[in-house]
Amino acid sequence: NAAPVYLTFTNSGTSAFKGALLTTDNNTGKLNIRMAGAENSRQILRITNSSTTSFYEAQSSSTKNVSNDGIGKVTVDSGRIDIGMFNDKSAGDIYLNGGKLSAIGLDSEVGTLAANSLVWGAGTLVVDFSENGADLLQLAGALSILESSTLEISASAADLLGWGISEGSKYTIITFDPNSGISQDDINSIKISAQSGIDAELVAILDESNNISGIGLQFVQVPEPSTFAAIFALVAAFAAFMSRKR
């Protein structure tokens, strides 16, 4: 049996790929992904369908069959990676050890990422928003929350208000197997990172048997336009004062 195939990204900046990722049928598993980029690097990975089922390999003078059936294990150590896949294809187990992970749509910033499981360590899960909703991480299996987990709200207060998102708005951001054993204390341990003026809390989502099967994000505070106007007025007044002083 051939060894599993690993694709490692070591970006120093932002890079984007949109296309099919094919593996030969003699491999033991799907293509595994690892993000190990610089601190502020980003890899956008939009995986699309393909009609290609084989190719001719000159080295062996033979035809190889290929498949395009999602990806395997995803490991995020550093940098940021955004993943979106066609037809609700799924990733394998995700290990968020560091860096940042986000779902993305094939043609939009907001999307759904399906995966088998997530071990959420010292990394950050980034959630994008739009007028149509928010990113969703959809796990078929377990969620494990370790220490130093962070969730980042990737939107400004002005953007949220423009999309009709205000205090009390609630979004499901992760779903998982209710047998994961996640408690409200686990959810409370997740740090929320947001821009100035935005306050939100994470809440448990219960299934019909009252087991926790998801995590929702509810906005507690989103500054109103009048608040922005007051801030801008203060900034303008201060700038005028400093100009006169000079």
pLDDT digits (tens, 9 = 90+) for 147-194: 789 999 999 988 998 898 888 899 999 999 999 999 999 999 999 999
Whether residue 234 has pLDDT greater than 70: no
Beta strand 80-85 with 42-47 is parallel
CA–CA separation, 23 vs 66, rounded Å?
A: 5
pLDDT at 51: 75
Cα angle 21-129-142, degrees, rounded to a multiple of 5 = 60
Q: How confident is the model at residue 226 (pLDDT cuts 50, 70, 90)?
A: low
Lowest mean pLDDT among 19-23, 52-56, 95-99, 145-149: 52-56
Contacts of 217 (CB under 8 A, 6+ apart): 127, 134, 151, 153, 170, 171, 173, 200, 201, 202, 203
pLDDT at 61: 77
Q: Give strand pairing partners of 85.
A: 47
